[in-house]
Every structure is written in C-alpha cells, then in structure tokens.
Amino acid sequence: MVDRSLVQQLLERLQESGRSVEEVCAEHPELVHEVRRQWRLLKNVQADLDALFPMAGPVDTEPAAARDSVLAQVPGYVIEREIGRGGIGVVYRAFQERLQRHVALKMMLPGSLASRQEVLWFQREAERVAQLRHPSIVPIYEVGDVGGRPYYTMELVDGPTLAERVHGGPMPPQAAAELVATLAAAVGFAHQHGIVHGDLKPASIMFPADGTPRISDFGLARRVGMQAAGRAGVIGPASDIHALGAILYVLLTGVAPIEVEATGPSRVNPRIPRDLETICLQCLRREPHRRYASAALLAADLQRFARGEPVAARRITAFERLWKWLRRRSSR
C-alpha cells in the first residue's frame, strides 16, 4: 500500500528543491512511479490555473464581438478588448454601463469545467470572495452566468505586477519586509474569513497608480488543486505562508528559492539581515507545522523587523541540522 503521507512529503521536496523525481526518491525508489504520476497531475493543474487566471498579455486589436459572440451579450457590459487568455479562461477589459466604470471581466471558456457541479462551486466561491473588503485584495464586483458560462468582474488594475517589478533585481531588505508584511496581513484577513488563496505568486500581485499592492484571484484556485492532489490538506493556510516566504526570497535575492535549507537567501545576497533571513526560512520550512502558525503572525514579525525590534522567528539550530542529517542517513 502506498504511503500517502510520504508521497506528499516527496512532492513538496520535489517542488521546493528543483531536483528530478529520481533524485528526490533516491531513498524510496519504490515510490518513483507514484511520485511521478502525482507530480504530472499537479503540473497539469498548475497549467490549468495559469490559464484560468492568465497574466495580462499583448493588447488584442481584434474586436471582442468577433472573437466571441457570447461575450458581446453579457448584460450591462461593453467588452472593449481581450487582455489575457489561457486554455480554460479569458480576461477582458470591459465597461460597466450602469456604474460607468471600467472593470476586468473573467469568464470560463466553453467546456473548461468538468461538470455543472464545478460551475456552481466556482460561482459560490467567487461570491464568498466578493465579501472580502481589504485594501490589498482586488475586490470582486459581480458574479454571473451567461450561456452556461460563469464569469465575474473585478477591479481593473492597470499597473504592473510584482513579477514585472522584480526583473530589476533584489529589493532593499526594509522595502521587501514592508511589502510582504502588507501582503501577509491581507492573506491573514482572508484566512480569518475561511478563504485560502492557493496559488499566491508575484504574477498575482498588482500595483495600481497609488502604489498599494493588491492580491488578485483570491480563493478560486483552492478546490482544483485539492482535487488533483487527491487529498484535502494539500492547499491551505500553510501553503499560503510558504508562498509568502518564496515571494520574500525572490524580493531579497532576485531568484526563486531552490533547496532552501542548503541555500539560504544570504548565500545569494550576503547583504540580507540575519533576522529577515530567519523570517524567510521559517516560512519555507518543509514541515507545514514548523512554519508560522498564521499569516497574521508572519505580518507581525515582519513589522517588528521593519521597526528594528527583535523578531520571534528562530533559526534552525546545529542540533536540528544534525538530527535531520542522521534521519536521512538512517533511512537509507
């Protein structure tokens, strides 16, 4: 019988280390096939999620009505142009006539969801997210259905994403800590309302003209990822905290975290303060229970760092590192 808990640990290690399936499963060769199968499922879901919430792409000059006659009939909206498209979803810049404002309109493509039950889940989840009111969460305005295809409208943020901003290299530590503290506070607010993001990354963080970071696509990735992994505990608050740690790592180093326990951010950028590195590494612990217990606690620790106060996070001790090494050796 396959040890599901061990398979999940190997999948997390595979995702965080960047190594091959064979390397990750070196101590458990009997699980190579199962880990490879589960990894393929997760990658397929990630591709679907990226398609469902695509990054803004080049402006499409072709009229929307010519691309999709159904969209031209969305009541109360004038579709202006497509701003993003993936395998199962499309995003339009639209004008809401009643309130005289521009919005982003996201709609499922035909046949993109497996069943009517999934369509209903998407609508209910979007309605839940629409109840969130936080300055760093992009608000959802309206949830609807046209021609059997669910859609929702949200604030149109014309500014760049965090993914576009980090191309310039590492951010000053103080600025990085303050930015991630703001994001963690928003994530903690959503968690308090029972909503997990599930796919937090630099591309889902946008900056409007006022410079306030806004997190988009809150909560709408959660169920899909849970189904693909075959268990309900894969995506949850701890995964959002890990994602915040990965974002902090990128902001401090300019590169994505790979095998973090062996390569802390200060090895990439020696100018990173020790306390800030400790906060980052606690978010990125392999064991979810050893990360911050909540996003609110992470935000508080980052705020303490920003104020020059002692932080609550603690580094892995030499004894802990030795214990981990002995456990790996004994399992061979």
**Going residue by residue through the chain (332 aa), what tens digit of pLDDT does each one get?**
667 778 877 877 776 666 778 777 888 888 888 888 887 776 655 554 444 444 444 444 444 444 444 445 789 999 888 887 755 578 889 999 999 999 999 887 766 555 677 677 778 888 888 889 999 999 999 988 887 788 899 999 988 899 888 877 889 999 999 999 999 999 999 999 989 988 888 988 999 988 999 998 876 654 433 443 333 445 789 999 999 999 999 999 988 877 555 568 888 899 999 999 999 999 999 889 999 999 999 999 999 999 999 999 887 654 444 444 455 455 55
Q: Are 190 and 134 in contact (CB under 8 A)?
A: yes
The predicted structure's pLDDT at residue 220: 65
Location of structure tokens 């039950």: 117
Identical fold at 64-155 and 162-328?
no
Domain regions of the chain by residue span: 4-52, 64-155, 162-328
Which positions are catalytic? 199
- Nearest one of 278, 327, 329, 284 to 305, comparing CA atoms: 278
Q: Are 106 and 120 in contact (CB under 8 A)?
A: no
The predicted structure's pLDDT at residue 230: 38
SS (H, E, C) the chain: CCCHHHHHHHHHHHHHHCCCHHHHCCCCHHHHHHHHHHHHHHHHHHHHHHHHCCCCCCCCCCCHHHHCCCHHHCCCEEEEEEEEECCCEEEEEEEECCCCEEEEEEEECCCCCCCHHHHHHHHHHHHHHCCCCCCCECCEEEEEEECCEEEEEEECCCCCEHHHHHHHCCCCHHHHHHHHHHHHHHHHHHHHCCCCCCCCCHHHEECCCCCCCEECCCCCCHHHHHHHHCCCCCCCHHHHHHHHHHHHHHHHHCCCCCCCCCCCHHHHCCCCCHHHHHHHHHHCCCCHHHCCCCHHHHHHHHHHHHCCCCCCCCCCCHHHHHHHHHHHHHCC
Superfamily, domain 64-155: Phosphorylase Kinase; domain 1 (3.30.200.20)
The predicted structure's pLDDT at residue 229: 38
**What number of other Cβ atoms are within 10 A of residue 29's Cβ?**
9
Q: What is each CA distance from 243 to 12, 56, 155, 198, 309, in whole angstroms? A: 12, 21, 23, 9, 24
Q: Give me the helix-helix angle, 32-52 and 4-17, nearest 10°.
A: 60
Q: What CATH code is assigned to 162-328?
A: 1.10.510.10
- Nearest one of 62, 61, 137, 138 to 106, comparing CA atoms: 138
Q: Give me the helix-helix angle, 116-129 and 222-229, nearest 10°.
A: 130
- Nearest one of 235, 96, 227 to 152, comparing CA atoms: 96
Complete edge-to-edge strand list for the sheet that includes strand 149-155: 77-85, 89-96, 101-108, 149-155, 140-146
